[in-house]
């Protein structure tokens, strides 16, 4: 895999994790 592909994959995972964490924080409150 090229560096660009790895960077994009990490970016998508980071965005997904951020959305999930944000929803959990909203439910926590």
What does the pLDDT read at residue 19?
98
What does the pLDDT read at residue 29?
72
* Positions of the chain with pLDDT under 70: none
Helices and strands per DSSP (H, E), number in the chain: 1, 0
d(CA 3, CA 17): 21
What does the pLDDT read at residue 16?
98
Q: Which of 8, 4, 27, 28 is nearest to 16 (CA)?
A: 8
> How remote is the C-alpha of 29 from its chain's centroid?
21
Q: What is the dihedral of CA 3, 6, 10, 12, to 10 degrees?
A: 110
What does the pLDDT read at residue 28?
80
């Amino acid at each position: 895999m090229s560096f660009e592909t790895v960077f994009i994959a990490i970016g998508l995972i980071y965005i997904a994790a951020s959305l999930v964490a944000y929803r959990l924080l909203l439910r926590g409150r």
